[in-house]
Amino acid sequence: MENAGTWDRKSVISELNQGRDLAYELKRQIYPSTTSREACEFLLGKIFSSYDNALALLNCMDILEMGRSPISERKARWSEQVLLCSGTGQIDDVYNWRKYGQKDILGANHPRSYYRCTHRNTQGCLATKQVKRTDEDPSIFEVVYRGNHSCVQERQKRNKENVNTQTKAENEGQILEVAHEKVETRLFSEPRDFIPFMSPSTSESYLSPSPCQVNDFVIGNDLQSFKTDFTETISNPTSVANFSFEDLDILIDHVDFDSYFLDVADYF
């Protein structure tokens, strides 16, 4: 077991280092932007691949650890992010949602709608979101995201296969503000009986449900500065005109990476 753990750790570190190096190379080539678009897309594909592989490895170790832990210790970090957006409320956020409820809320002028990930049953994805018109301005929606997606959606896969060629939905809403984000620890009473599996055609990972997770784990100065950019974007009430959910997709990927790494830090 020790040997397996050592091998896993080296693999993870190697994948993450490669992803970091590629990201810096891309950054170097973009500024100034004299590099061809094809070269950038190639690098992005390699970066996504490295992070996918690292996540898959970490998730496997996480599940192994969960299997060894008593139920009373099966805790997971749970993230919540609140966005304010204009438009129809049906903003284009990459993921597919299925409405499962609507409630009138005490003291609120408009009901709150409840959505869960379409892939809850097929992939065990536990991400949910709530949407409600604000009392102050009914044209502005408060969107609360809970948990992170463990599923891989078709659009997400297309994004990774064809970076920079995404098309935006006609009715995409504009995100006005990231109101706040918080993290809490919740106890999961259900056993994790999902296992990770690999796409037969690619190395892309389909991860088990792992509702999670943001933390402050730091890996070196370089990554810290990289993370700081994102943290500043999401933790302060910030005007984010031009911010799109394509950006959020990347943001979520990054948050996933961090939290998984904290798990593996505990593991070791």
**How far apart are the C-alpha atoms of 225 and 216, rounded to whole Å?**
12
What x-and-dash track marks residues 67-96 binding DNA by CB under 7 A?
-----------------------------x
Taking CB atoms within 8 Å and a gap of at least 24, the contacts of 36-41 are 37/164, 40/163, 40/164, 41/162, 41/163, 41/164
Among 53, 123, 130, 153, binds DNA (CB under 7 A): 130
Which residue in the block uniquely carries the two structure tokens 């499962």? 100
Quick check: 135 binds DNA (CB under 7 A)? no
Measured from the CB atom, the residue of 29 and 96 that comes closer to DNA is 96
Among 27, 28, 103, 186, binds DNA (CB under 7 A): 103
Q: Do 252 and 233 meet the contact criterion of CB atoms below 8 Å apart?
A: no
**Residues contacting 68, CB < 8 A, separation 6+:** none
**Please, where are the H alpha helices in the chain?**
2-30, 37-68, 120-123, 154-161, 220-235, 245-267
Q: Min. distance of Cβ 128 from DNA in angstroms?
A: 6
DSSP conformation class of 194: -
Measured from the CB atom, the residue of 127 and 175 that comes closer to DNA is 127
Report the sign of the C-alpha dihedral through residues 163, 167, 171, 174, in that order.
Answer: positive
Quick check: 114 binds DNA (CB under 7 A)? yes
Among 17, 118, 166, 235, binds DNA (CB under 7 A): 118
Quick check: 106 binds DNA (CB under 7 A)? yes
What x-and-dash track marks residues 182-201 binding DNA by CB under 7 A?
--------------------
Binding footprint of DNA, residue count (CB under 7 A) = 19
β-strand pairing of 97-103 with 112-117: antiparallel
Stretch that binds DNA, among 101-109, 134-142, 148-156, 168-176 (CB under 7 A): 101-109
Interaction site with DNA (CB under 7 A): 96-107, 112-114, 116, 118, 128, 130
